[in-house]
Amino acid sequence: MDTEQRLAALRQLRRWLDEAFRVPGTRIRFGWDPLIGLLPWVGDVLTALMSCAIVFTAHQMRIPRVVQLRMLMNVAIDLGVGAIPVFGDVADVFWKSNSLNMALLERHADMVRPASAGDWLFVAGVIGAILIVALVPLLVLYWILSLLKRGWF
């Protein structure tokens, strides 16, 4: 299968997951992603696995690794937020990781381009946010232990 055929198949996947339906009287489009996501955990994992087809193709096409990482983070955000009951399903209507990833893939597919500053900034921002979220409980624990040590509790 040549590159254009693969991209056409992935565009179809993106359309089904992100844009297959329209809310009548609005410009809001959604696909099977939020509908399948209504199945707790299983639906979100299933759609994340389908989304990984775009990331896998990017890997096969030798797209820059930071762009691949950005694509994985888009899928991870979709999976993480989508796992929250009700809110996640509504968020899936608006956070279209497949459309975002296809735009990244198509931007880099015709010829391998170096990653943009925006790609690096996005990845650095997500990694920074993950570190902050990981450090906050440790800092709170340290603070509580220091209060206990001083006899405040």
Our CA dihedral for 53, 35, 106, 49, rounded to 10 degrees, sits at -20
CA atoms within 13 A on the CB side of 35: 11
Mean pLDDT of the chain: 88
Stated pTM of the model: 0.74
The pLDDT-based confidence of 153 (bands split at 50, 70, 90) is: low
Span 68-82, pLDDT tens digits? 999 999 999 998 888
Interatomic CA distance for residues 94 and 48, integer angstroms: 16
Span 107-130, pLDDT tens digits? 888 776 677 788 788 788 878 877
3-state helix, strand, coil in the chain (%, to 5): 75, 5, 25
